[in-house]
Amino acid sequence: MTPETPINQGEYRYLSLGDSYTIGERVAENERWSVQLSEMLRQEGVKIGTPEIIARTGWTTAELAEGIKNKNPKGPYNLVSLLIGVNNQYRGQSLERYRTELQDLLQQAIGFAGGNIQRVFMLSTPDWGVTPFARGSDTKKIASEIDAFNEVAQQECEKLGIAFIDITALSRTAQNDASMITYDQLHFSGKMYRQWAEKALPTVRRLLK
């Protein structure tokens, strides 16, 4: 079986890897960005199932790797996404460590896609510095660090030929729109996740052709 062949009751299989932004902290399951993306694809006639999600609030790259090991997902998948890095930044971990651990995660993602790089994509890390939770923090420093982590992620994706989708600019629009933030004043809302899904849709549509 190859990733080009739907192998789950006639539906494409989708594995979504990440942290709070993928599990959708404080939002309904159907508001998660990867779930909304799958629904958009279905509306276009793509037979794709609900994503299998391996993600947890607070996870760094190392913790995601451990979570994948524990869950032991069975590929091949027709689509694999990755969104990870905010907790590395939040905890003050080095860019060098992030790069090394991200390289391993990207190789795992390719493996889950049956070795097909064209079925893997990564979203950039959003900027939590625009949320009410960050008031009193050095938001310029947060933004600068998020940009640095995203630069590493983009470099590693480009080395491998993996699609990298920048949603960070979209996340920063939440600074002037309270509807983009959940009631915990830290995480993004389903409305924001819809924008991420819409941003990813053209790329994913191309990857699935």
Summarised one tens digit per residue, pLDDT across range 61-79 is: 999 999 999 999 999 999 9
Q: Which helix (H) or strand (E) holds 200?
A: helix 190-207
Q: Which helix (H) or strand (E) holds 14?
A: strand 14-18
Structural domain for 38, as ranges:
14-207
Would you state the structure tokens that stand for residue 69, as one six-digit string? 């090991």
Summarised one tens digit per residue, pLDDT across range 77-86 is: 999 999 999 9
* 80 within domain boundaries: yes
Which of 128-158 are b and which e, b meaning 16 or more Cβ less than 10 Å from the residue's Cβ? bbbbeebeeeebeebbebbeebbebbbebbe
pTM, full prediction:
0.94
* 3 within domain boundaries: no
CATH no. for residue 130? 3.40.50.1110
Question: How many domains are there within the chain?
Answer: 1
Q: Are 81 and 48 in contact (CB under 8 A)?
A: no
Summarised one tens digit per residue, pLDDT across range 153-207 is: 999 999 999 999 999 999 999 999 999 999 998 899 999 999 999 999 999 999 9
- The secondary structure of residue 196, as a DSSP letter, is H
* Cα(95)–Cα(93) distance, integer angstroms: 7
